Amino acid sequence: MHKRAVAPSVLSMDYSDTGASLDMLENSQADWLHFDVMDGHFVPNLTFGPDILKGMRKKFSGVLDVHLMTTDPARWVGPFRKAGADLITFHTEALNNNPDAVNALLEEIRSQGLRAGFSVKPGTPIEGFASCLPHADLVLVMSVEPGFGGQSFMEDQLDKVRWLADQRNSRDLDYRIEIDGGINENTWPQAVQAGVDTLVAGSWLFSGNLESKTTAMLHE
């Protein structure tokens, strides 16, 4: 069993005062930071590149969890490693859902000294990636269509979480199970119940008291 982790999504951070926001995150109980990289092609939105991560690395000592929503994930591994990423997750859809290609990129990320994860969009079945599980440090289940914060949680995606937890148990594997999208006070307990150990939260977590919400997610 992995220790539960909360990964605030910097997509919802207050960019009018970035330094103060990062200080608040560094001093919170959240020891992960989720960094959404969108290229305007794989998803219809554009966010941040490695230079921004490099700046955040100076102020955040926890796990920098990079979520690549890009059409060419292999290209970005080196730049984000140099910028200070700890873990890089990419989408299977960017590799035509080819499990051999997924395995090759997971191993490439690991060979660069990072932890490696893969993610599936809501419409992509997970069972085709059974052969990838021994190569992954984390599997990210998207509970919204990637691209934007503030969408509603897709409860049916919890079937993937249950399948991942079952595979991990029956095959004696040890990847983390992360969920991303629509996490709030009603949905995080459902996700944990299904087997999630790593909770990404954006719009809900940053509206109101981040510290008390994080404490609840970690300890309740």
- Please report whether residue 36 would count as binding Zn ion according to CB under 5 A: yes
Query: Shortest gap between Cβ of 205 and ligand DX5 (angstroms)?
Result: 7
- Please report whether residue 181 would count as binding ligand DX5 according to CB under 6 A: yes
CB 189 within 8 A of CB 170: no
Residue nearest to ligand DX5 as judged by C-beta position:
202
Q: Which of 50, 117, 149, 195: binder of ligand DX5 (CB under 6 A)?
A: 149
Q: Which does 195 bind (CB under 5 to 8 A by kind): ligand DX5, Zn ion, none?
A: none
Q: Which of 8, 22, 66, 67: binder of Zn ion (CB under 5 A)?
A: 67
Given the complex with ligand DX5, which of 73 and 146 has the nearer CB atom? 146
Taken in order 188, 192, 193, 194, the sign of the CA dihedral is: positive
What positions carry a catalytic annotation? 36, 180
Binding characters for Zn ion, 134-173, by CB under 5 A (x = yes)? ----------------------------------------
Q: What does the alpha-carbon distance between residue 51 and residue 84 come to, in Å, rounded to a whole number?
A: 10
Q: Alpha-carbon dihedral of residues 146, 148, 150, 156, nearest 10 degrees?
A: -10
Angle between helices 50-59 and 18-26 (to 10 degrees): 50
Q: What does the alpha-carbon distance between residue 113 and residue 111 come to, in Å, rounded to a whole number?
A: 5
- Please report whether residue 67 would count as binding ligand DX5 according to CB under 6 A: yes
Q: Which does 198 bind (CB under 5 to 8 A by kind): Zn ion, ligand DX5, none?
A: none
Backbone angles phi, psi at 84, to 5 degrees: 115, 15
Q: Which does 181 bind (CB under 5 to 8 A by kind): ligand DX5, Zn ion, none?
A: ligand DX5
- Please report whether residue 25 would count as binding ligand DX5 according to CB under 6 A: no
- DSSP E strands, 76-166: 87-91, 115-120, 138-142
DSSP letter for 39, please: B
Q: Which of 5, 34, 92, 194: binder of ligand DX5 (CB under 6 A)?
A: 34
Q: What does the alpha-carbon distance between residue 205 and residue 182 come to, in Å, rounded to a whole number?
A: 10
Given the complex with ligand DX5, which of 169 and 209 has the nearer CB atom? 209
| Residues binding ligand DX5: number (CB under 6 A) | 21
Q: For residue 146, how many other CB atoms are within 10 A of its CB?
A: 22
- Please report whether residue 202 would count as binding ligand DX5 according to CB under 6 A: yes
Query: Shortest gap between Cβ of 137 and ligand DX5 (angstroms)?
Result: 18
Give the length of the chain: 220
What 3-state class would DSSP assign to 179? strand
